[in-house]
Structure 1
Amino acid sequence: MVRQVVVVGAGVYGAAVADTLTRRGARVTVVDAGAAAGGTSGATFSWLNSCGKQPRAYHDLRVAGMAAHRRLAAEVPAGGWYHDGGNLEWAADHAGAERLRRKVAGVLGYGYEARWLDRAEALRLEPDLAPAELPADGIAWFPAEGWVDPIRLIGHLLSASTGRGAELVDGDAVTDLEVAGGLVRAVRLRSGRRLVADAVVNCAGPQAAGIAALAGLALPMRNTRGVLIYTAPAPVAVSRVVHAPRVHLRPDGGGRLLLHSPDVDDAAYPSETGEFAVDRSAVEAVLDAVRALLPGLRTMPVESIRPGPRTVTVESVRVGERPIPGDGLPVLGRVVELPNFHFAVSHSGATLCLHAGDLVAREVLGEDVDDALAAFRFERLAVDPDHSPKIQ
């Protein structure tokens, strides 16, 4: 019987797994090398969607993840982390418009909500957008999508878990896993502490491969960097996720905007201190794009801006590391050769965490959820030419 579970990682997955485990009576210790929500979960666009995702099993998992967020928000209406309103998207050229049309046709074929809007309809949803930046028609609206504040969500889930007796150990990295008799027996921390475990759940995000290696498992990962730009409070109203051709944005509370562009991701580089820095010209290009899209940013009061024509200011630029398993799909659930070691690792953890984390936790406690997790097992990535699992 599983009584004591060690969850490695205090991001959205670790918090969600711990929540289900403690609700079902398990004793849980959540460990993190840094602070809770201090890794990828603290630097994410956190867009809730299943917009053009393949294969169908992955799409369905994400749709279930979106539904789990809506349920939790209904149960805790004062939580403040869940924001609906949908997602607007349009293209700048013919090729982009064709890709968007194919994406909309594909999701409609899956029964996913999508509508085509013209410029006037889009402006009724987002009246502060510059009309000249919008095409006359061909604007896609995905009304079931939204975004979450991951820090507040993690805070709620960890608070609920510790209220049921879970222990949070932060600032103490996992240094070893004791494996004997085909099971993980204990987790060792940098502090010297030894945590006896009936089960271990690897929710370590970008560091998941390192934790797996301690158990003798080879988890292929192809992590990427993501750059996010957080503005100071700005006198414009943005109510939902917007994917414009040159900038992606959403509100971020307190009048702030969160900005992203795929182009700026490539501008991150290691600095002399070991931290990541971002080329300033790439950040300015994103700001120029959002100023064009939101004319109200050009009329900010003088006392709240820098001198000169650039009228939107930046509070912070964060570089996050996106955890992406080798084939791009989640790795979820138990390992066949090490059945008390479980994974909860994926890109788009904000969308998936509540539903996928619940499934993983239920399997940890012995429930049969194989139908839901079969497509996302570790073994699909860990097969030698002779089809035997890669156990180092």
Structure 2
Amino acid sequence: MEGLPGAVRSIRVSRVVVVVIGAGVYGAAVSASLVRRGARVVVVDGGAPASGTSGATFSWTNSCGKQPRVYHDLNVAGMEAHRRLAAEVPHGGWYHEGGNLEWAGTDAESEALRAKVAGVLEYGYAARWVDRAEVLRLEPDLDPAAVPDEAAFFPREGWIEPAPLVAHLLSSGAEVVRNDPVTGLDIEGGTVRAVRLASKRRLAADAVVNCAGPQAARIAGFAGLSLPMRNTRGVLVYTSPVAVAAARVLHTPRVDLRPDGAGRLLLHTGRTDGAVRVAEAGEITVEQSTVEEVLEAGRALYPGLRAATVESVRVGERPIPGDGLPVLGRAPGLPNLHFAVSHSGATLCLHAGDLVAAEVLGDDQSDTLAPFRFERF
């Protein structure tokens, strides 16, 4: 963030051209950091910015029970990066740090939650137990009958609105190429020389960053690399605007939810994810009965939701590397090909994206990125 690292002496960075593949939160964050560091950046996407996973995500910012410790710490740094940017752009409006309330429904869930709270407290992470009265003070429109005697509260967690964040990051000066999928990489002498697009356009590049999310394995394949991914689909239910004072993330036994702006709420459950149906032609649908069950679960928490209807249902594909941890930094054998791919992109994008951008321009980040490099596979 403070200009070019001192280690870069042989390159005039103003002439370095970096092609960033993917215009979601990662691609936008990497590109903004590269531009700040003096690079010329072209961001390419097969659709519109934030129209893929970043447009259909719960976007919860947290490091709540994430393991191992190095991954937890990376997420904590990601949360802090959001706070810094929100302070720098106070009218951005995309960052919401209201905390996260979580409670259990069974003895086994309660035991797991207690273990999680104890674990994050050991790491110095902000968490505390609150009673019913405190929960209702935080969320006064909850039905008191739906609130347990105690719940866990993680006050530094929150959520982001990905689309306006992506718009802000892409306004930094990068060229954005929309609706033009990548069809190949030109490689010569162990170096990526160019990115080929469906339009037949060829983008010469000094470096390439794979921020393609669910399509990251396909992009890696163009370079002869096999990136193991275990992507999953997530279903999000958006309500119509309703007069309910919901201000923070909630994780409850029947439904997870958060505000989504303009009076809407966003609801999710694992059961909804299992209701996705993909036709032979590729059309994706969600069973309507399951969607209604999710809305009813929300109404059981907030009686004010009885007036709400389902405004939309979105299905996103979560990019999850094979071992669940991020893939960040340079690729083996291709020093100018870099990765920024992970689950938890909403939390990690600003911090991890900045680390990757620094390394693209010659500032080795092995102290932080070593556990997350591609070669571990």
TM-score tier (shorter) = over 0.9
Aligned to 1:159: 171
Aligned to 2:193: 185
Say if 2:232 is the partner of 1:220.
Answer: no
Distance 1:315 1:296 in 2: 16
The equivalent position to 2:108 in structure 1, one of 95, 104, 125, is 95
Cα-to-partner distance string for 1:79-134 (whole Å, 9 max, x where unaligned): 00000110000001111100000000000010000000010011000011111111
Distance 2:166 2:115 in 1: 35
Say if 2:272 is the partner of 1:260.
Answer: no
The equivalent position to 1:291 in structure 2, one of 299, 307, 321, is 299
Aligned to 1:143: 155
Cα-to-partner distance string for 1:261-316 (whole Å, 9 max, x where unaligned): 11110001113652210011111111111111101223x3xxxxxxxxxxx20111
Distance 2:120 2:106 in 1: 21
Say if 2:139 is the partner of 1:126.
Answer: yes
RMSD over aligned Cα, in angstroms? 0.9
**Partner amino acid for 1:341?**
L
Matches within 5 A, 1:1-392: 1=11, 3-137=16-150, 139-160=151-172, 162=173, 166-271=174-279, 273-298=281-306, 300=307, 312-381=308-377
Percent of paired sites with the same residue:
72
Q: How far did residue 26 of structure 1 move?
A: 0.2
Distance 1:320 1:37 in 2: 11
Given the two structures, how large is their TM-score scaled by the length of structure 2?
Answer: 0.95
Aligned to 2:3: none
Given the two structures, how large is their TM-score scaled by the length of structure 1?
Answer: 0.92
Aligned to 1:386: none
Distance 1:297 1:185 in 2: 54
Cα-to-partner distance string for 1:339-370 (whole Å, 9 max, x where unaligned): 10000000010000000000000000001211
Distance 2:365 2:221 in 1: 26
**Partner amino acid for 1:251?**
P
Distance 1:205 1:356 in 2: 14
Q: How far did residue 14 of structure 1 move?
A: 0.3
Distance 1:143 1:374 in 2: 30
**Partner amino acid for 2:299?**
R
Distance 1:271 1:236 in 2: 37
Q: How far did residue 180 of structure 1 move?
A: 0.8
Cα-to-partner distance string for 1:148-169 (whole Å, 9 max, x where unaligned): 0000100000012x2xxx2100
**Partner amino acid for 2:117?**
V
Cα-to-partner distance string for 1:161-186 (whole Å, 9 max, x where unaligned): x2xxx210010011110111011011
Q: How far did residue 336 of structure 1 move?
A: 2.3
1:372–1:276 Cα change, 3 Å: same
Distance 1:154 1:110 in 2: 31
Q: SS of the residue aligned with 2:171?
A: helix
Aligned length: 364
Unpaired runs of 5+ residues, structure 2, are 1-10
1:295–1:109 Cα change, 3 Å: same
Cα-to-partner distance string for 1:222-253 (whole Å, 9 max, x where unaligned): 00000000110011110000111101000000
**Partner amino acid for 1:354?**
L
Distance 2:177 2:371 in 1: 32
